[in-house]
Amino acid sequence: MQIIHSIDEMQCLSEKLRKGGSKIGFVPTMGYLHKGHLSLVDLLKEQTDTVILSIFVNPIQFGKGEDLEKYPIDLDGDMKLCQERGVDIVFIPEGVEMYRKGHSTLIQEEKVSQGLCGKTRPSHFQGVTTICAKLFNICQPHTVALGQKDAQQVVVLKRMILDLNFPIEVVVGDIFRENDGLAMSSRNSYLTSEQRRDALFINRSLRAGQELVGQGVLNGETIMQAVISTLRQAKSIRLDYVEVVDRNTMEPKQEIIPNQSMIVLAVWIDKVRLIDNLIL
């Protein structure tokens, strides 16, 4: 496994790999890897010849007062997991090189990024699209693997890839959950044991919505209310949003269309913001 820090070195190697006919798979991450990230590596190992995984805590996708300063880091643990999983190249750029003095270009997706998480975190997706465009230009992947847990991010990035003509295919990995149903996230590490117990209501609430759909209820508002009332049973949970949306566009929908509609939600547990979703 190769570990590369320099942007030039990474870009030269990607060019060389492409010229040599190697199909490049790429997993962008902010590190503190869990099974969800590793399942994306597995997906790419099946479909590509060289798997690159990047680790970069991207400052410009965090808003003021968010958790940039305390975002969990465990580079040694991450390297061990990457090695065990068969990642070929880990790319760990430096912030000062990624955003050189005078950096003044940002990429803004204007539609999908505006609602849901984009309302609470107004500059977040601009930061995500900007860093991903840069990483795509550096790592030059044929295929990118993204996790379904960040459902809106997936749709925003697919839109950017299409709109900006990146010759990249996107594969989406399922949400990975702990045994008790909590979706895996680097941010789960912030939770106290009591908060973690309350966090179980997130998945429980999504399943309450799904159960109604199973009983034939197809009204989006009724589903949302069932989700909200389950979440309200947890003392420490504050709602950011709950919506029923089209999974391909993230537009809110009144009527459930099976396999096309999705419940998406974001909640606060004290200062920890968690997101989750379920395709109905």
Q: Report the interface residues with ligand PAF, using CB under 6 A.
A: 28-30, 58, 61, 128, 131-132, 150, 153
Query: Which residue's CB is nearer to ligand PAF, number 266 or number 280?
Result: 266
Smallest distance from ligand PAF to CB 234, Å: 25
37 part of the active site: yes
**213: helix, strand or coil:** helix
Task: Please say whether the beta carbons of 181 and 203 come within 8 A.
Answer: yes
Catalytic, out of 5, 34, 37, 103: 37
Query: Which residue's CB is nearer to ligand PAF, number 40 or number 278?
Result: 40
Query: Which residue's CB is nearer to ligand PAF, number 34 or number 207?
Result: 34
**If we measure between CA atoms, which residue out of 101, 99, 100, 79 comes closest to residue 29?**
79
Interatomic CA distance for residues 128 and 27, integer angstroms: 14
What does the block give as tokens for 257?
A: 């269309």
- Give the other-Cβ count within 10 Å of 131's Cβ: 22
Smallest distance from ligand PAF to CB 160, Å: 11
Smallest distance from ligand PAF to CB 159, Å: 14
Task: Please say whether the beta carbons of 262 and 280 come within 8 A.
Answer: yes
What does the block give as tokens for 93?
A: 């750029």
Smallest distance from ligand PAF to CB 54, Å: 7
Query: Which residue's CB is nearer to ligand PAF, number 3 or number 68?
Result: 68
Burial class (CB in 10 A: 0-12, 13-18, 19+), 260: middle
Which residues participate in catalysis according to the annotation? 37
